[in-house]
Structure 1
Amino acid sequence: MFTKRDLLRSAALAAITASTAKSVPVYAQTSADRPGFFKAKDIAEAGFIYGLPIVMNYAVMHEYAIDRSSGQFKAPFNQIKNEPNVFTYKDTAIVTPNSDTPYSFVWMDLRTEPVVLSVPAVDSKRYYSVMLCDGNTYNYGYIGTRATGSEAGDYMVVGPDWKGDTPAGIKQVFRSNTLFSVAGYRTQLFGPDDLDKVKEVQAGYKVQMLSAYLKQTPPPAAPAIDFPTIDKELVKTNFFDYLDFALQFAPAQGNENEIRAKLALIGVGPGKTFNFKDLPLEQKLEIGLGMKEGQRKVDEAVGNVGKTVNGWRVSGLPGDSAHYNGDWLKRAVAAQAGIYGNDPEEATYPFTRVDSDGQTLDGSKNSYTLTFAPGQQPPVNAFWSLTMYDGKSQLLIENPINRYLINSPMLPNMKKNADGSLTLYIQNKSPGADKEANWLPAPNDTIYLVMRLYWPKTEAPSILPPGEGTWQPPGIKRVA
């Protein structure tokens, strides 16, 4: 199964050693117009960092909304798919998936007209959010408990160039920067016996085109698109083919003009026809070396993101276009660390691969504990969780009790210590029947842990601003 982790580990060396059979250059420029080898390599490097989130997003969109045989297909464009369960180890399309809230997804095609998203009234005790994310992976708006409240409402999503009046009844208009966009819904689940109530909420989520909402004749359909197939092998060499394709649906913003102009010099961008397999060997080398160095820089930046707090990395990575402000490395790091992450005000995600002594977390070698002092659990308006992932793939792990996380709704069934503190047992084997309620099963290998604070409190103690807040996650302790 193709996972985004495979894409992240893009084996650019495959590009360098690709077939050297006779090929026809696709660049419109003459050799005199084309950048020299090292400049072209540098452009490919910068272009890889710029394009990584865009290509990652395209890969997810292709699996979820285009390729019906992908094994991860959800629904065609402009149709909502409600997931009746939380994600498990079987869900592999998105790295570090949340297993707290059953998801709903709608991939929107905004080429001909806006889409209207309607939400029902939701019990104020049940957190939900609808995150709007465009093809650049910018979070351009929210509907939900924190952002718009718990009342019912109709909201309109428009494309980058849409011009028109806001119809009566529409509470708010959100503008996507790209012609294809995704709405990701998260609906809180209080426990296994709560699933039917979650389904009732999901049944109230409605998606319709503006013309249907207004009971008018729809505009002519947009032209059919031949979406290129993407998988973990193709992306090794064809990364820029996919970026080239995706950019035609993403009008350039002002801060993109420079990188777009550079990419055009190597044949990438709207109106171009980049095709890796037809490049001469020297140009394949330029592209391959640039990709390899770009991936190295992203990997390095992911490891150093935010601030270290008791072994946890705490940062506020995701956001809208203004949040990134043309910092393409920051945007790539956010996507690689966990594509479709929330803005920190909606959810903040401390993560770690090490214990409080800086040693790599490894379930095959050690057992661990995490203890929250009395009154020192994560400060949130909604709820918090701690989720276990495989340290290599960043996917949920199969385990004997089908438990992928521990979250605050589980607290009534957990055991507290005599002083009121809460200890979680993080290990591969059961800590014993008396402690199993507090057990978070770990892989028999390296561990990646992510804490989620949904709608974090802003008054002290608070994790906000990320890395500077008055509340700090406690360190993971190795059990002797």
Structure 2
Amino acid sequence: MSPRRGGPEPDAITALAADAYVYGAPLVRRLSAVQARLQEGGGAPVPFNDFVHAEGPATPGTHTPYAPADLVDALAQLDLSGGPVRLHVPDTGGAYYVLQFVDAWSNAFAYVGTRATGTGEGDWMIVPPGWAGTVPDGVSGVIDAPTSVVSVVGRLACDGPGDVPRVRALQQELTLTHLGDRAHRTGLPATEPGVPGELRFFEELRVWTADFPPAAADRAYQDRFQPLGLLEEGISPYVSAGPGLVRALRRGLALGRLRVEEAARRPALLADGPPAAWQATPHLRDYNLDHFGVGTLGTPQWTIPDRQASYLVRAVAARRGHWLPHGYEAVYAHSVRDSRGHPLDGSHRYVLRLAEPPPVRAFWSLTVYDSPGGHLVTHAADRYALGDRTPGLVHGADGSLTLRLSAERPTDPAGAANWLPVPTGRFRAVLRLHLPDQAVLDGDYVIPALERLEGRRGPRP
């Protein structure tokens, strides 16, 4: 395919291609991750409609950046092309958990868990688009999937190594059952062989958009990309694309990526107020404007009024990670600088003074990771998170809590009880607030900055 005489000029094709990247990158990233799991999920293929479970909370050997040290992950890729899938969730005995449902376009469209549905036992039926069958007895509710491929991201609270057996038992009871009368797919729709690597993005977007169409409100915008060949069926237009089209698409791809990278560096795009010591993006998932299933909020506070602006936020969210929840489920705040603006570094000692605990309805925890890698660092103490579930924390007479962050253990008992080991070099602190109160979401609660103590690191508190 090449632009026809009287059609868009190369510069116009480049601009369209940049828009197509911003619009389509979440779909391509999401389904590429699904495909990777199907082919090799942590060493072995993980089929559709089955959970893969972490053996416990993150440790220094965990390869996933910024993995939580007090939650145990569960992940499943669902394919509903053969019909519905039934999900059974066990009774967690009041312990926090959440199952987040994400469609092919990266929309978090449903939640099952403590906040949304409670902690009791239940069964849920996940049905494909347009399904009109009969709901079996004993089903707690129906979850309407916007696309026939869905990811289920599970997080189960774990109170340290001694709590792992309980969590592992819950994982065994967390099951999926295919209810459809047809076999489901075993892989994603195949793209055309022979497409040059530099055009693979557009080929994947072309094929996967056809099989996983967006919301009806997005289709008029998507029609703009017809000159790029994204709406063509049959043989790929990119196998024998002319040099002019290849150049325009290549430039558009680069421009689109740059646009997303620049937006990701602008806190004002995703967070309210000026930059602070702690950065958080509670509205990073607000681009979902069409699919509000179980446990989601479609109120103005949690939706972006400008649909086209939502595409850029969605692309930034896809670039940062697929598994971030809506802010009303959890807020992850991070900091790489102390109260004076200096980078956090394990050659110094720090304190986090909490006059009052972070206002949450579930729990909060503080974890540190090496920077820029985002991994836990081996330490003799084997202590990777502190929070309101940590036994033995020492509070002040006024109820305040002072956490100590240093590479070496403080010598006084109170300092040691409230101590979180840090790497010897640069690090990032992450404060996770599960089921945050409105004060967190409104910005009325401000997380205090980490204060660097005078002097280099040492054994003193």
TM-score, with structure 1 as normaliser: 0.79
Code of the aligned partner of 1:294: G
Distance change in 2, residues 1:270/1:450 (3 Å): farther
What secondary structure does 1:146 align onto?
A: helix
Cα deviations across residues 353-408 of structure 1 (Å, max 9, x unaligned)? 3333344x3426654332211xx111111111223334334x32332244443332
The alpha-carbon deviation at position 256 of structure 1 amounts to: 1.6
Code of the aligned partner of 2:319: Q
Contact 2:83 2:184 in 1 (8 A): no
1:306 counterpart (245, 251, 271): 271
Q: Is the counterpart of residue 479 in structure 1 residue 461 in structure 2?
A: no
The alpha-carbon deviation at position 198 of structure 1 amounts to: 0.8
- 1:275, 1:73 → 2: CA distance? 34
Q: Is the counterpart of residue 321 in structure 1 residue 286 in structure 2?
A: no
The alpha-carbon deviation at position 441 of structure 1 amounts to: 4.0
Aligned match of 1:14: none
Aligned match of 2:352: 370
- 2:341, 2:107 → 1: CA distance? 33
Aligned match of 1:13: none
1:46 counterpart (19, 22, 26): 19
Q: Is the counterpart of residue 77 in structure 1 residue 48 in structure 2?
A: yes
What secondary structure does 1:154 align onto?
A: strand
Code of the aligned partner of 1:479: L
The alpha-carbon deviation at position 475 of structure 1 amounts to: 1.3
Cα deviations across residues 432-465 of structure 1 (Å, max 9, x unaligned)? 454455444444554333321111234xxx212x
Contact 1:310 1:474 in 2 (8 A): no
Where do 1:81-230 residues align within 5 Å? 81-92=52-63, 95-124=65-94, 126-211=95-180, 218-222=181-185, 225=188, 227=190
The alpha-carbon deviation at position 188 of structure 1 amounts to: 0.8
What secondary structure does 1:102 align onto?
A: strand
Distance change in 2, residues 1:202/1:111 (3 Å): same
What secondary structure does 1:329 align onto?
A: helix
Q: Is the counterpart of residue 430 in structure 1 residue 408 in structure 2?
A: yes
**More off after superposition, 305-314 vs 469-478:** 305-314
Cα deviations across residues 246-295 of structure 1 (Å, max 9, x unaligned)? 32332231232244223332122473665767544443332333233323
- 2:234, 2:452 → 1: CA distance? 54
- 1:159, 1:167 → 2: CA distance? 16
For structure 2, the residue ranges without an aligned partner over 5 or more in a row are: 291-302, 455-461
Aligned match of 1:4: none
- 1:46, 1:123 → 2: CA distance? 48
Contact 2:338 2:344 in 1 (8 A): no
The alpha-carbon deviation at position 72 of structure 1 amounts to: 5.4
Aligned match of 2:248: 286
Aligned match of 1:463: 440
Where do 1:280-429 residues align within 5 Å? 280-303=242-265, 304=267, 305-307=270-272, 308=274, 310-316=276-282, 317-319=284-286, 320-322=288-290, 323-324=303-304, 325-326=307-308, 327-359=310-342, 361-363=343-345, 366-373=348-355, 376-393=356-373, 395-401=374-380, 402-410=382-390, 412-417=391-396, 420-427=399-406, 429=407
- 1:300, 1:357 → 2: CA distance? 26
Distance change in 2, residues 1:287/1:197 (3 Å): same
Cα deviations across residues 27-72 of structure 1 (Å, max 9, x unaligned)? 2x553265322212212221222222222212321222x113x635
Code of the aligned partner of 1:331: R
The alpha-carbon deviation at position 328 of structure 1 amounts to: 0.5
Paired residues, what number? 427
Aligned match of 2:35: 62
- 2:429, 2:116 → 1: CA distance? 27
Contact 2:369 2:377 in 1 (8 A): no
The alpha-carbon deviation at position 243 of structure 1 amounts to: 2.5
Cα deviations across residues 89-120 of structure 1 (Å, max 9, x unaligned)? 44445x53333211111110011101111112
Identity rate, percent: 26
For structure 1, the residue ranges without an aligned partner over 5 or more in a row are: 1-26, 212-217
- 1:278, 1:85 → 2: CA distance? 49
**More off after superposition, 170-179 vs 322-331:** 322-331
- 1:43, 1:180 → 2: CA distance? 27
Aligned match of 1:12: none
The alpha-carbon deviation at position 330 of structure 1 amounts to: 1.2
- 2:237, 2:371 → 1: CA distance? 34
Code of the aligned partner of 1:134: D
Contact 2:3 2:227 in 1 (8 A): no
